[in-house]
Amino acid sequence: MRQVVLDTETTGLEVAAGHRVIEIGCIELVQRRRSGREFRTYLNPDRAIDEGARAVTGISDESLIDKPRFGEIAQEFLDFIGDAELIAHNASFDIGFLDAELQRAGFAAHSLGGRVSVIDTLALAREKYPGQRNTLDALCKRLDVDNSHRSLHGAMLDANLLVEVYLALTSGQAALGFAEEDSTAPTRANVELQLILRPLVRRANSAELVAHDARLAAIEAASKGNCVWQRS
């Protein structure tokens, strides 16, 4: 199973308002493990970045002037994605922006929304933790994923955090056959089950042993030597 964990940064929040992608970060997973293959690029959006986006990402307009435009990297990006299952947090945001970029660059036939399967970790988290905050930061805290170095948003930084969040969110799927991992490896669930099924042995104390011997003696006396345990 091949998956690509994906995140983007953009000039603003509304794709319909003409906002553009300024960073893409992708990490490949094979059988739920990092393969070591990654795809990252900054992009020249040919428009100004909103003040809010600049504050969140730390990316300035000036830093993107010499970066490629989306059309220049579109084929390389599509080749990296291939037929992988995509994983993104609030996936409709990232997919919507990327499909708009693909259409603008003349790759409309390769839109991601209708071509590959997508897992939205936000939807997974809302199902697992209804009524709770399910931002990436909140999930990192809840699932013990270290995000102490995340002072700003970044596509590659967030994709790396999302890998750990996704694996933690779906860790129980291995037992259901969704991951080809070593089934002989002990898991917390298996250990707990073994503890539940293991018979509890309680040793008699000295007083109980004395009482037990006295009871047997009384039974033997009453049976006049015909007890089963006395037969050879």
pLDDT digits (tens, 9 = 90+) for 56-93: 999 999 999 999 999 999 999 999 999 999 999 999 99
| Alpha carbon distances (Å) from 53 to 22, 70, 159, 202 | 10, 19, 18, 65
* Separation CA 151–CA 109 (nearest Å): 37
Could you say which of 19, 89, 110, 153 is catalytic? 153
- Give the domain ranges of the chain: 2-185
The Cβ of residue 228 has, within 10 Å, a number of other Cβ atoms equal to: 6
Degrees to nearest 5, angle at CA 187 with 184 and 190: 85
Q: Which two tokens stand for residue 219?
A: 């039974």
2-185 maps to which CATH number? 3.30.420.10
* DSSP helix/strand/coil, 130: coil
**pLDDT band at 231, cuts 50/70/90?**
low
pLDDT given for residue 114 in this prediction: 80
- Report pLDDT digits (tens) over 186-204: 444 444 444 444 455 566 6
The Cβ of residue 146 has, within 10 Å, a number of other Cβ atoms equal to: 10
pLDDT given for residue 131 in this prediction: 95
pLDDT given for residue 224 in this prediction: 65
19 a catalytic residue: no
Tokens 């794709």 -> residue:
15
The pTM score is 0.73
